């Protein structure tokens, strides 16, 4: 009779399901924060923090489950690599969630409408970040290293927008010093979203390690 | 002919290498098994096994029951000779010398010691258990025997616990102590290789931990082959691990590699517990 390690496999499946749920919450938080920023909706911005508290709790719950699996099931080889990947996914998703909170804080602090062009760039960064999260978690669940590489490649879009937005804000600060504070806020927010892209790239690297057992530096 | 690599990249036969001041054993494996087939009557228990054991190395053998790992280590000191109808094909070299050739079996078993799954001390005193083998070889000097017993028991990490009761029966010791006594008895013969067939499967975790630490110590002086069903024991104590399945050696690799990134899917399935 073939032994499929049912107890371990079922526990792992539950953890995978929790990771999908956690990633959906981070994605949702980013969407809400963007919407709050675009519509100057401070109430919506406040709900992002509440969602992030749930994300933080999920991180701990998933990590506890992973530690229990190591202690009780003694995984080795690919199973062990998956547990380490799970720990990397949760820590990086949690950081991505923090960036959604930073974006929401910007929405709360920003008075008046932001420039159309800057807002357009932030929107593209956030939406690309959401797509990256969806694509990398899908790559994890399908065990698809190539899909993880493709997900990480989207980070170029975020980096490109960040670079352009930074240049525009620097020009704006020189040209209109009275807008310095607002421009700085946009600059910080853009920097946050750029780092969020790096966190998702870290997840993609962990997925490749899990599948191929080698360390691959993406987006160097 | 076995030759020894020298720094220049040239090779010299061992005798010439020794004459030039080179250690003839340098770089040579302790054990080399080549294309080994083993049969119990018509049943082929091992198929084309190629295996080597370096000096001062611990190799662990893992695999499901009946895969041939115990048969394999018994071949290394010719214990299977006692079983009628068994047949060996291929070569088993100890320091380059075929153990199924002209080598004297008693000498072979002195050089290749064995520790079994269940501690099996003789029904005599602790002292006599350790001294037994050398006495059989004719060693009579009380002083030399005492030195041998102390050294062997110390080496087996048992001296401190038994030094005041060497005359007591060995069977009065706990299971873990009995197993270390068996290791001391094996060491007393000054072997070059120690074969261990599931040496901790009958022991509690504390005694197991002591034996595992001891294996780590012993590898400074001996080459060790350990058969174990405890996968994590193989991972903890060995430098190389061999995975046997249905009489074949499926994978023989560095332990770290085998337990993190095995090359063969069957190895991965077995160590991950998805095989049966």
What string of pLDDT tens digits covers the 276 residues of chain B? 333 333 333 444 444 444 444 555 556 899 999 999 999 999 999 999 999 999 999 999 999 999 999 999 999 999 988 888 999 999 999 999 999 998 999 999 999 999 998 999 999 999 999 999 999 999 999 999 999 999 999 989 999 999 999 999 999 999 999 999 999 999 999 999 999 999 998 888 888 888 999 999 899 999 999 999 999 999 999 999 999 999 999 999 999 999 999 999 999 999 998 875
ipTM over the 0.90 cut-off: no
Q: How far is CA B64 from the centre of its chain?
A: 19
- For strand B193-197 and strand B112-115, is the pairing parallel, antiparallel, or unpaired? parallel
How close A94 comes to chain B (CA, Å)?
27
Residues of B in contact with A213 (CB under 8 A): 260-261
Please answer yes or no on whether A213 and B271 come within 8 Å at the CB atom.
Answer: no
Please answer yes or no on whether A3 and B268 come within 8 Å at the CB atom.
Answer: no
Contact map slice: B 244-263 vs A, CB within 8 A: 259-262
CATH H-level superfamily of A6-212: Phosphate transport system protein phou homolog 2; domain 2 (1.20.58.220)
Residues of A in contact with B259 (CB under 8 A): 76-77
Query: Residue B262's closest chain A neighbor by CA?
Result: A77
Write down how long chain A is: 220
**Is B84 near chain A, with CB under 8 Å?**
no
Please answer yes or no on whether A77 and B276 come within 8 Å at the CB atom.
Answer: no
Cβ contacts below 8 Å, chain A against chain B, sum to 36
- B129's enclosing H/E stretch is helix B126-136
**Is A197 near chain B, with CB under 8 Å?**
no
- Domains of chain B (ranges; CATH) run 4-271 (3.40.50.300)
Residues of A in contact with B261 (CB under 8 A): 77, 213
**Token pair recorded at residue B253:** 């690799």
Per DSSP, B198 falls in state: S
Residues of B in contact with A2 (CB under 8 A): 274-276
Interface mutation target, options A71, A76, A84, chain B, most CBs of B under 10 Å? A76
CA trace torsion B122, B128, B133, B139 (10° rounding): -160
**Is A71 near chain B, with CB under 8 Å?**
no
């Amino acid at each position: 009779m073939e032994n499929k390690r049912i107890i371990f496999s079922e526990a792992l499946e539950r953890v995978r399901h929790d990771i999908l749920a956690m990633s959906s919450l981070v994605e949702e938080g980013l969407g809400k924060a963007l919407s709050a920023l675009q519509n100057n909706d401070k109430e919506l911005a406040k709900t992002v923090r509440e969602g992030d508290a749930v994300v933080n709790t999920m991180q701990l719950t998933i990590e506890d489950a992973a530690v229990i699996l190591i202690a009780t099931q003694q995984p080795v080889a690919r199973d062990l690599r998956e547990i380490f990947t799970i720990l990397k996914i949760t820590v990086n998703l949690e950081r991505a969630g923090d960036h959604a909170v930073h974006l929401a804080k910007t929405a709360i602090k920003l008075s008046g409408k932001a420039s159309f062009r800057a807002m357009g760039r932030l929107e593209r960064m956030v939406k690309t970040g959401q797509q990256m999260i969806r694509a990398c978690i899908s790559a994890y669940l399908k065990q698809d290293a190539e899909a993880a590489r493709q997900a990480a490649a989207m980070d170029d879009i975020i980096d490109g927008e960040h670079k352009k937005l930074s240049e525009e804000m620097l020009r704006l600060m020189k040209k209109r010093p009275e807008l310095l504070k607002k421009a700085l806020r946009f600059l910080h927010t853009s920097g946050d979203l750029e780092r969020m892209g790096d966190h998702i790239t870290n997840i993609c690297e962990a997925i490749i390690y899990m599948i191929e057992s080698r360390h691959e530096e993406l987006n160097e | 002919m076995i030759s020894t690599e020298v720094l220049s990249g040239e090779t010299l036969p061992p005798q010439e290498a020794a004459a030039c001041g080179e250690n003839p054993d340098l770089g040579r494996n302790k054990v080399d098994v080549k294309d080994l087939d083993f049969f119990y009557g018509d049943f082929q228990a091992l198929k084309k096994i190629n295996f080597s054991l370096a000096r001062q190395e611990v190799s662990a053998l893992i695999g499901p029951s009946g895969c041939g790992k115990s048969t394999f280590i018994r071949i290394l000191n010719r214990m299977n000779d006692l079983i009628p109808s068994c047949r060996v094909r291929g070569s088993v070299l100890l320091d380059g010398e075929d153990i199924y050739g002209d080598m004297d079996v008693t000498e072979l078993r002195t050089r290749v010691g064995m520790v079994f799954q269940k501690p099996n001390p003789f029904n005599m005193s602790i002292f006599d258990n350790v001294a037994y083998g050398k006495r059989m070889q004719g060693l009579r000097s009380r002083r030399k025997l005492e030195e041998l017993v102390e050294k062997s028991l110390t080496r087996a990490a048992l001296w401190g616990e038994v030094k005041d009761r060497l005359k007591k029966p060995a069977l009065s010791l706990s299971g873990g102590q009995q197993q270390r006594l068996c290791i001391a008895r094996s060491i007393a013969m000054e072997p070059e290789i120690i074969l261990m067939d599931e040496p901790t499967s009958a022991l509690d975790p504390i005694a197991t931990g002591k034996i595992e630490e001891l294996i780590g110590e012993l590898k400074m002086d001996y080459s060790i082959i350990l058969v174990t069903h405890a996968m994590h024991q193989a991972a903890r104590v060995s430098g190389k691990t061999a995975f046997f399945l249905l009489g074949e050696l499926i994978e023989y690799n560095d332990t770290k590699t085998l337990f993190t990134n095995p090359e063969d899917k069957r190895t991965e399935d077995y160590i991950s517990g998805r095989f049966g």
